[in-house]
Structures are given as C-alpha cells and as structure tokens.
Amino acid sequence: MQWQNNICDVPGILVGHDTNLEAGTGCTVIRFDGPFLGSVDVRGGGPATRETDLLNPVSMMQELHAVVLTGGSAYGLESACGVMDELERMGIGYDVGPVKVPIVPAAAIFDLGIGNFTVRPDKESGRRALLNAGSGAFPVGAVGAGTGATVGKWAGPQFAVKSGLGTASVVMADGFVIGAIAAVNAVGDIYDETTGKILAGARAPSGDSWMTDAMAAMQQHNHSQMGENTTIAVIATNAQFHKAEAAKLAQMAHDGMALTTRPAHTPHDGDTVFAAAHRPSDGYTIDSVRLTMYGAMAANTLASAIKNAVLAAQSLHGIPARSDLSFIHNRSQ
C-alpha cells in the first residue's frame, strides 16, 4: 500500500466529502469498514454533537460505522441522518432483529459567518459524502467539513484567516497505524509547536503581520465578536482497544490541540475528538505503557493534522488563507 500520510492509511478507513464552496460549508464522512468501536472526549464549552453519549464506556454499544464532521453548526448535524439512511440501504448497522441501525455520531463546526448561512449540510449532503468515500488520497483544505473553517477570531472575525480540513498518520513500532483528521475552526491561533512560530491566526490591523498578543487584544475587544467556533477531529487506529481505552486515546489526543492552538478548549469552542479502534478479541488486554505510547502519538498525529489544515487552506469569500498573505512571503514567520 502506498503511504499517503492521511487517516486512510489505517486499514478499513474510508473518507468522503460533500463541499459547497458558494455557501461556504460542507461535511466529511469517515466510514469504518471493519470491526471498529469508538469513544469521544469533548473539551470545548460550546459543542454541537450527536450520539456522543452512546460512545461513553459505560454504554453497551461496541460498534461504530461512521463519524460525520460537518459545518452548519447544529443544523448541519442533519447530515448524519443521510449517512444513516445510506448505510441502512447497504445493510450496515447494529443488528436489532428486524433492522440494522447504523451507529453514526457527529460533530459540527460553526461556519454560519461565511458564505450563505441559510445553506447548511443536510441529509443529501451526508448521503453524497458517504457515497464519495474511498480509501485513497482525498482533498484537504477548504473542503468538506473544513470548507467554511477559519482561525484567529479572538480579535474579531475581521482579522481571521482561512483554515480548513487536515489529516496525518503514523506507523507505530508494533506495526499498527494511527491516523487523524480534523476540521480546524478555532478561536485561537495555530502554531508550529516544534518551532514556536505562528502558522495562521489573527492578522494585525495593519495587515502586515500577525497580531500575537492574544490576551491584551481580548481585553480590548467585545468577547461576543469571537462568535462560535470549534475544532473537531477523529483519531483512528487498527490496533485493538476497549471503549475505555479508546476514551483515554481521545482524551490524550486533545493534547494535540493544546500543542498547536492558542488558546484551546475555550468557552467559545466546541473542541471534540472521536477515537476509533478495532474491537478487541475475547480476553484481550492492553498494558498501560502501550496505551500511554499510543495516546502520546495520537496527540502528535492530531497536531500534524491541525497544522496541515491551515497549510492546505485556500482563501474563500474574502477571508485570506496563509498562502495569500503577502507578509508571509516577504519575511520569515
């Protein structure tokens, strides 16, 4: 298999987008073709989610068929219904006797401030994204759930920079793979944690640099200008984990946001990480040291996906991407 540095490097993962550039929104479906289970960790103060309680380790469900990342705020969660309908037609779901019920959690970003806020991902959007899903390379940047994503909004939306959807993957020492995909729509700025330099964030009023003093600017601006935001992500692996261990994986993966996003997990964000792993065989156990290593690498992989989201972003509806800012090319940032 050719290495793609995306979440589809995890065997059994398929990704598809539905993108509406004119409206500035879209959705992304991560489909699981195999014996996957899932969990989730929600850290932001303003989440828009669906079926997250089902992923709690105390809940009995041990199957996961797809996760939907979507724009459109809470309205966009309707797209998961289209994914459910299409999976049911495929005969995929949790067998309850007369019917199979697809298990499809979802999370949304707030992108109603860009493009046409009256158009949101709906059932047909979710259906199209699922039918587009494949295991090969897929577009990143201003596509799918990342179509309307922006970052650096702590100083007001007029200073924001375009973001998008990113992905990354890594092979563990034991041969299993961890992959990440993220729609990055943060209040905060995005940094390269290895260099300490800002990659994308609030622009200075002069337009010739980044506005880096977040705390001072937030004290001078009306907090309501931040709007609603969120970074939503999926971490997946073909290694075996129980639901409680997958929950720990999602929890530790949030460190990838903390490494790259300043500030992260604010009251204005709905930061959510889903984790998916293979269901364990009977009697299977995992030692805490191995789980720790997977959690640490999940954080690093999510950090890479977040950085890739802003590096791949394209300008849209008058909001410039990093690649179109002249000061990026004129001097080191």
Domains, in order of start, for the chain: 7-330 (3.60.70.12)
The pLDDT score that the predictor gives to residue 282 is 81
Q: How many CB atoms lie within 10 A of CB 212?
A: 14
In this prediction, residues 212-225 reach a mean pLDDT of 57
Residue pair 146/184 in contact (Cβ under 8 Å)? The answer is: yes
More confident of the two residues 216 and 297:
297
- According to the model, what pLDDT value does residue 333 have? 46
CA distance 159 to 237: 37
Q: How much is the pLDDT for 224?
A: 47
Q: What is the pLDDT of residue 7?
A: 98
Q: Using alpha carbons only, what angle is made at residue 59 by residues 56 and 64, rounded to the nearest 5 degrees?
A: 75
| Higher per-residue confidence, 125 vs 206 | 125
Q: Beta strands 197-200 and 189-192: pairing type?
A: antiparallel
pLDDT exceeds 90 at position 220:
no
C-alpha to C-alpha distance for 313 and 286, rounded to whole angstroms: 38
Q: What is the average pLDDT score of the chain? A: 91
- Predicted confidence at residue 52, as pLDDT, reads 95
pLDDT at 101 over 60: yes
List, in sequence order, every residue forming a beta bridge with 95; answer none if it has no partner: 100
Asked if residues 295 and 219 have their Cβ atoms less than 8 Å apart, the reply is: no
More confident residue, 155 or 60: 60
The predicted pLDDT at position 284 comes to: 81
Q: Which of 71-85, 146-160, 285-299 has the highest mean pLDDT?
A: 71-85
Q: Are 217 and 154 in contact (CB under 8 A)?
A: yes
Beta strands of 80-157 (E only): which ranges? Answer: 94-95, 100-101, 106-108, 150-151
How confident is the model over 201-205, as a mean pLDDT?
A: 90
Residue count (the chain): 333
| Torsional sign, CA 241, 67, 234, 269 | negative
Q: Rounded mean pLDDT of 108-131?
A: 96
Q: For CA atoms 110, 213, 311, 15, give the dihedral sign.
A: negative
Bridge partner list, 262: 189
Helix residue spans in the chain (DSSP H): 79-89, 123-131, 214-220, 243-253, 255-260, 288-311, 326-330
Question: CA-CA distance, 210 to 332, in Å (whole number)?
Answer: 12
Residues 6+ apart with CB under 8 A from 141: 164, 165, 166, 309, 312, 313, 314
Report whether pLDDT(64) > 70. yes
SS3 282: coil
How many Cα atoms within 13 Å fall on the side-chain side of residue 111? 43
Q: pLDDT per residue over 258-315, tens digit each? A: 999 988 787 877 889 999 999 998 878 888 899 999 999 999 999 999 999 999 999 9
Helix (H) or strand (E) holding 167: strand 165-171
Angle, helices 243-253 vs 288-311, to 10°: value is 50
Average pLDDT over residues 247-259: 95
pLDDT at position 218 over 90: no
pLDDT at 225: 52
* Mean pLDDT (whole number) for 170-176: 94
Q: What is the pLDDT of residue 45?
A: 81
Amino acid at 100: K
d(CA 40, CA 157): 29
What are the structure tokens assigned to 152, written together?
């650096």
- Say yes or no to pLDDT of 226 above 80: no
- CA torsion sign for 2, 6, 11, 15 is negative
- Point out the least confidently predicted range of 151-160, 204-213, 275-284: 204-213
